[in-house]
Amino acid sequence: MKRKFMGWFLFLIIPFLIYYFYPETKLPENRVVDKLIVYKGKRQMEAYSGKELLKIYTVSLGKAPVGHKQYEGDNRTPEGTYHITERNPNSSYHKNLGVSYPNELDIENAKNLGKPPGGAIKIHGLPNRLGHIGKLHRWKDWTAGCIAVTDAEVDELYLAVTHNAVIEINP
């Protein structure tokens, strides 16, 4: 019985450890990212320099990822074309890049629902002091509507993404 348990334990723990510790491809150094494309259904974000694809990130989204963000508190990640207009090195989520949500149409749609549109949509790392979670954060959509990557990934994006870079967020 003990041997069988140990076999199952190793069968489960070894793939987990490989996943957690296996190094990921890094964004090429000294490259400028001027466009990001998010595919919510695939939980992927592509980083481009011009027409050249530099890297694909696996992301976590808002807790209710299906559909366009309608109003503050709906836990959806917006869909549409926005820009990266802010960067914050002192965020409560490691670092972040601010997305220009809401635009005029988003504000009007929320107003028609009698609700505020919300804001503060970011590409961010993990909550401060929880960076050790690393890639495991990807196992669940957990943000309030933001796009989450690991701390190492937000570090490289923070350096490479240009101000006013386009971000397309697709279903």
Catalytic residues: 124, 146
Task: Put the strands of the sheet holding 96-99 in their side by side order.
Answer: 52-58, 44-49, 33-39, 161-170, 80-88, 96-99, 122-124, 147-148
Residue pair 101/78 in contact by the 8 Å Cβ criterion: yes
Token pair of 116 as six digits: 């505020």
Task: Rounding to the nearest 10 degrees, give the CA dihedral for residues 84, 86, 88, 89.
Answer: 70
Q: Is 114 left (phi over 0), alpha (psi -120 to 50) or beta?
A: left
3-state class of 37 per DSSP?
A: strand
User: What residue has token string 């989204």?
Assistant: 61
